Amino acid sequence: MIVLTGDRPTGSLHLGHWVGSLQARTQLQYIHDLWIIVADTQVLNGDFAKLPQIQSNIVSVVRDYLSVGIDPDRCTVFLQSQIPQLGELTNILSNLVNINEIMRLPTIRQESELYGSSSMGFLSYPISQTADIVLFGAELVPVGSDQMPIIHFANDLAQRSNTVFGTDFAYIQPQLSTKSRLLGLDGQNKMSKSLGNAIFLQDSAEDVWQKVRAMYTDANHLKISDPGNILGNVVFDHLDAFHMDKPHLQDLKNHYQRGGLGDMVLKKILYEDLLEFLQPIWLKSQNISDEYVLDVLAQGTAKAKVCAASAMDLIRDKVFCKK
Ligand code: TRP
Region of 137 please: left (phi>0), alpha (psi -120 to 50) or beta.
left
How far, in Å, is the centroid of ligand 1 from the Cα of 6?
A: 5
Atom nearest to 143 CA in ligand 1? 13
Atom nearest to 7 CA in ligand 1? 15
For 257-265, which contacts have Cβ atoms below 8 Å and span 24 or more sequence positions?
A: 257/227, 257/228, 257/229, 257/230, 258/227, 259/224, 259/225, 259/226, 259/227, 259/228, 260/224, 260/225, 261/224, 261/228, 262/224, 263/217, 263/221, 263/228, 263/235
Which residue ranges in the chain fall short of pLDDT 70?
Answer: 180
How far, in Å, is the centroid of ligand 1 from the Cα of 5?
A: 6
Whole-number pLDDT of residue 90? 98
**Alpha-carbon Rg for the chain in angstroms:** 22
How far, in Å, is the centroid of ligand 1 from the Cα of 181?
A: 16
How far, in Å, is the centroid of ligand 1 from the Cα of 142?
A: 10
Torsion of Cα atoms, 190 then 194 then 196 then 200, to 10°: 80
Whole-number pLDDT of residue 63? 98
Task: Give the model confidence (pLDDT) of 189-210 as tens digits.
Answer: 999 988 999 999 999 999 999 9
192's CB contacts (< 8 A; 6+ apart) are: 16, 184, 198
How far is residue 279 from each of residues 18, 244, 253, measured CA to CA in Å?
14, 16, 26
Q: What is the pTM of this model?
A: 0.95
Distance from C-alpha of 83 to C-alpha of 78, rounded to nearest angstrom: 9
* Pocket around ligand 1 at a 6 A CB cut-off: 4-8, 37, 39, 42, 129, 132-133, 141, 143
